[in-house]
Chains A and B, each alone.
Chain A
């Protein structure tokens, strides 16, 4: 949204401001395939947008995020929607499913998204 001017919003469906505070989507959406495009401001294809450096892909393509997504998708621990990742890990731990310990350290330690990819979108 850094590239669109204010009056472009008139043509495109407005998105509610501040849906989550974790800032789950990087504003410079790296590629339309991965972005959930709610009336998205894809007026400029990403390739034409100058970033003055490397694209900030950390939020979506970080290795840690990939590991966490694998944890989200693992059916053995139940559905991933409507529950934070840490709660889901703790539930799995409590019911004896033996989830990998590194997920817990990732969730409690670093700057990773606490909710699964689908949270707030479905």
Chain B
């Protein structure tokens, strides 16, 4: 029996292609424009698409704009949905409502049974009636085609809905692949009281091959990429209240980054890594969040395996397309609509072909003038969202043969769970790290 094997284990590699260019805003110039421009771009793109899909759906009906509606005439209209929500916090409430005991902002979900939907295009808007379109499913900003007719009350009675559906997917070459794994982790929250440094160190040690025997190391050698999906640091709010910091507090401000950098250096020395910003990271608030500055990572940024990426993040590994966000879009959908689970929200955003339909209504967004970067043109193979409560996954099959792996990545500081995806068959499993020391 050999005690010391002479051969070294080589880590597998894969080709990486970044598709984040659409989400970068360095070239954008702010000229005082309002959000009407991004809504126009969204409506125009989606309407062109829906007009091409309508003949396959109901070819016998005329398509008209909202102002061209006539009472009793059955037709198809295309526009942006607006959901009027009674409980949605409005800045004007601070001035109009009496200061009662009830708080102005309610915490979790702003839905109410009196919510109703309105369809809007450039010519006008019309209130939607009927039971086919459920206000609890849809949110403001989704573009759909509706079949129905105008009632005598002036509303539009909806008989059927057409969503854009899953976008077309590029065919992957069907060569027999070997097992290659991608690890997703999110919500490290280094610097918060709930994060356990030992857990993340265990994860790092496992990925870099410092744990276990040769078989374990062989498994670790098949990990080709790590994606950190947002909320890597958490700075206590007491330090961020806008007042000048004493010098001892200043070091508290930078401690989480130093700790993160040490760990990321260990990872970057070993395999390629992508880090995305999240809601608690020092990046801009509005989507698309720009990459975290490399000066925050003096140690790890020197490696060419270290990549700071935008949120949302889109990339290809061995021509498998990955698309995902750090969770702000899904969290906003949770506040303004309801579904059985988070994977349903993910599926809906794909069917609506828009990553964040509630932007810019309730989700901060940059006012683009010429395009809407959140439109999904090509169906990803893996669609992930980070910073969720628990690990969930599903394989979604589309009508044209699209196959998408939907993944909800849980917060690592709370659950100790990272997600591992096998690129050969798009199968997913959880990697759990526990640090219970039993007595």
| Residues of A participating in the B interface, judged by any CB pair closer than 8 Å | 75-76, 78-79, 81-84, 87, 90-91, 94-97
Note all chain A residues with C-beta closer than 8 A to B71.
none
Per-residue CB contact flags for chain B residues 119-140 toward chain A (1 = under 8 Å, else 0) read: 0001100000000000000000
| Closest Cβ–Cβ distance, residue B164 to chain A (whole Å) | 17
Query: With an 8 A cutoff between CB atoms, is B32 at the interface?
Result: yes
- A91-B369, A91-B370, A94-B370 known; A82+B32 contact, CB < 8 A: yes
Is the Cβ of B40 less than 8 Å from the Cβ of A79?
yes
Give CA–CA (A74, B31) in the complex, Å: 21
Residue of B nearest to A78 (CB): B40
- A82-B369, A83-B369, A95-B44 known; A75+B122 contact, CB < 8 A: yes
Query: With an 8 A cutoff between CB atoms, is B378 at the interface?
Result: no
| Closest Cβ–Cβ distance, residue B44 to chain A (whole Å) | 6
Query: With an 8 A cutoff between CB atoms, is B34 at the interface?
Result: yes
Note all chain A residues with C-beta closer than 8 A to B41.
78, 91, 95
Residue of B nearest to A95 (CB): B44
- A84-B31, A95-B44, A95-B45 known; A79+B36 contact, CB < 8 A: yes
Is the Cβ of B37 less than 8 Å from the Cβ of A82?
yes
Query: With an 8 A cutoff between CB atoms, is B33 at the interface?
Result: yes
Listed A/B pairs (21) with beta-carbon separation below 8 Å: A75-B122, A75-B123, A76-B122, A78-B36, A78-B40, A78-B41, A78-B44, A79-B36, A81-B34, A82-B31, A82-B32, A82-B34, A82-B36, A82-B37, A82-B367, A82-B369, A87-B369, A91-B369, A94-B370, A96-B48, A97-B44
Is the Cβ of B31 less than 8 Å from the Cβ of A83?
yes
Chain B contacts with A in 7-63, Cβ cutoff 8 A: 31-34, 36-37, 40-41, 44-45, 48
Is the Cβ of A78 less than 8 Å from the Cβ of B37?
yes
Residue of A nearest to B32 (CB): A82
Per-residue CB contact flags for chain B residues 349-377 toward chain A (1 = under 8 Å, else 0) read: 00000000000000000010110000000
Is the Cβ of B33 less than 8 Å from the Cβ of A81?
yes
Note all chain A residues with C-beta closer than 8 A to B367.
82
Note all chain B residues with C-beta closer than 8 A to A82.
31-34, 36-37, 367, 369
Residue of B nearest to A97 (CB): B44
Give CA–CA (A78, B45) in the complex, Å: 12
Of B37, B41, B48, B122, the most chain A CB neighbours within 10 A belong to B37
| Closest Cβ–Cβ distance, residue B119 to chain A (whole Å) | 16
Chain B contacts with A in 363-398, Cβ cutoff 8 A: 367, 369-370
Nearest 10 interchain pairs by C-beta? A82-B33, A78-B40, A79-B36, A75-B122, A91-B370, A83-B369, A82-B34, A82-B32, A83-B33, A79-B40
Residue of B nearest to A79 (CB): B36
Give CA–CA (A79, B122) in the complex, Å: 9
Give CA–CA (A13, B123) in the complex, Å: 37
Give CA–CA (A75, B34) in the complex, Å: 16
| Closest Cβ–Cβ distance, residue B351 to chain A (whole Å) | 23
Give CA–CA (A75, B48) in the complex, Å: 16
Give CA–CA (A6, B231) in the complex, Å: 60
Give CA–CA (A23, B303) in the complex, Å: 53
Residue of A nearest to B369 (CB): A83
Give CA–CA (A91, B36) in the complex, Å: 14
- A84-B31, A87-B370, A94-B370 known; A79+B37 contact, CB < 8 A: yes
Note all chain B residues with C-beta closer than 8 A to A94.
370
Note all chain B residues with C-beta closer than 8 A to A91.
41, 369-370
Note all chain A residues with C-beta closer than 8 A to B36.
78-79, 81-82
| Closest Cβ–Cβ distance, residue B378 to chain A (whole Å) | 18
Note all chain B residues with C-beta closer than 8 A to A81.
33-34, 36
Give CA–CA (A92, B92) in the complex, Å: 36
Give CA–CA (A16, B36) in the complex, Å: 27
Of A76, A83, A84, A96, the most chain B CB neighbours within 10 A belong to A83
Per-residue CB contact flags for chain B residues 145-162 toward chain A (1 = under 8 Å, else 0) read: 000000000000000000
| Closest Cβ–Cβ distance, residue A92 to chain B (whole Å) | 9
Note all chain B residues with C-beta closer than 8 A to A95.
41, 44-45
Given A82-B31, A84-B31, 11 more A-B residue pairs with CB atoms under 8 Å apart are: A75-B123, A76-B122, A79-B40, A82-B33, A82-B34, A82-B36, A87-B370, A90-B370, A91-B370, A94-B370, A96-B48
| Closest Cβ–Cβ distance, residue A64 to chain B (whole Å) | 23
Give CA–CA (A84, B45) in the complex, Å: 21
Give CA–CA (A90, B123) in the complex, Å: 23
Give CA–CA (A81, B23) in the complex, Å: 24
Note all chain B residues with C-beta closer than 8 A to A79.
34, 36-37, 40
Give CA–CA (A81, B35) in the complex, Å: 10
Residue of B nearest to A88 (CB): B369
Give CA–CA (A83, B34) in the complex, Å: 9
| Closest Cβ–Cβ distance, residue B30 to chain A (whole Å) | 9
Note all chain A residues with C-beta closer than 8 A to B32.
82
Note all chain B residues with C-beta closer than 8 A to A84.
31
Note all chain A residues with C-beta closer than 8 A to B37.
78-79, 82-83
Residue of A nearest to B367 (CB): A82
Give CA–CA (A83, B368) in the complex, Å: 10
| Closest Cβ–Cβ distance, residue B49 to chain A (whole Å) | 12
